[in-house]
Amino acid sequence: EAGVTQSPTHLIKTRGQQATLRCSPISGHTSVYWYQQALGLGLQFLLWYDEGEERNRGNFPPRFSGRQFPNYSSELNVNALELEDSALYLCASSYSQGNTIYFGEGSWLTVV
Amino acid sequence: AQSVTQPDIHITVSEGASLELRCNYSYGATPYLFWYVQSPGQGLQLLLKYFSGDTLVQGIKGFEAEFKRSQSSFNLRKPSVHWSDAAEYFCAVGWPGGFKTIFGAGTRLFVKA
């Protein structure tokens, strides 16, 4: 059974540009979570989608947004990139409002 | 507010020695408890989880954790550490009905030969 898959593995963008990261959850999982892991800052919760709707949002500005598609895959968009957005972005999935979340390998975003 | 505390930012142990990583949580009821491991540059892998029942939980890679309600703790243990165990370990809490899981700040494990 395939795990959570994320793409791209690495992404380099210039300050002010937009970045799009993608995630496919484990088959059968309808909840998708996004986390940011910046150097020295631990795991910061970004967004939670369930059944196509945004259910909860962490303490991030509106330029961090996303959506969940009918097949439960998800994308994270970061607009007006800033240098401090450079981080590992982790996607995780679970059954709907499930208790155990499973992570993908992450997408490295570097803003220069 | 709910919180998870991992008191040790980093720990160094010798290969073959035993390991205990500490985790304490603050929550009104018994939450669901998890340990994850993250190798450098990779995602998080679930080591083990506790929902209810036996308070000693066995996980993958020879790890175990013990839930102690009186101490609000869920410490991770391994009897003999291998060099490949060097990684960052995250304790996490969740609860029934969903909502986001809360992660501790992580403990970096270094293994010396």
Q: Using beta carbons and an 8 Å cutoff, which residues of A are at the interface with B?
A: 4, 6, 31, 33, 42-43, 45, 48, 50, 55-56, 58, 88, 90, 92, 94, 96-106, 108
Q: Is the Cβ of B56 closer than 8 Å to some Cβ of chain A?
A: no
Checking if the pLDDT of B91 tops 90, the result is yes
pLDDT computed for residue B48 by the predictor: 97
Quick: pLDDT tens for A8-21: 999 999 999 999 99
Cβ distance A106 to B42 less than 8 Å, yes or no, reads yes
Determine whether the interchain pair A90/B44 forms a contact, defined as Cβ–Cβ distance below 8 Å.
yes
Rounded Cα distance between A32 and A51, Å, is 9
B67-88 in b/e form (b: 16+ CB < 10 A) is: beeeeebbbbebeebeeebbbb
Average pLDDT, stretch A62-74?
A: 97
Q: Say which residues have a Cβ less than 8 Å from residue A28's Cβ, sequence separation at least 6.
A: A95
Name the pLDDT band for A58 (thresholds 50, 70, 90): very high
Q: How many CB pairs under 8 A join A and B?
A: 54
CB–CB contact A56 B99 (8 Å)? yes
**Per-residue pLDDT at B4:** 93
| A48 to B100: CB separation less than 8 angstroms, yes or no | yes
For B71-100, what is the mean pLDDT? 90
Q: Could you list the beta-strand ranges (E) of chain B.
A: 3-5, 10-14, 19-21, 24-26, 32-38, 44-50, 56-58, 64-68, 73-78, 87-94, 102-103, 107-112
- Burial class, B90, CB count within 10 angstroms (exposed 0-12 / middle 13-18 / buried 19+): buried
The model's pLDDT over B5-33, given as tens digits with 9 standing for 90+, comes to: 999 999 999 999 999 999 999 877 778 99
Confidence grade of residue A74 (pLDDT, cut at 50, 70, 90): very high
Q: Is the pLDDT of residue A94 over 60?
A: yes
What is the bridge-based pairing of β-strands B107-112 and B10-14?
parallel
Contact call for A50 and B98, based on CB within 8 A? yes
Vertex A107, ends A102 and A112: CA angle to 5°?
A: 155
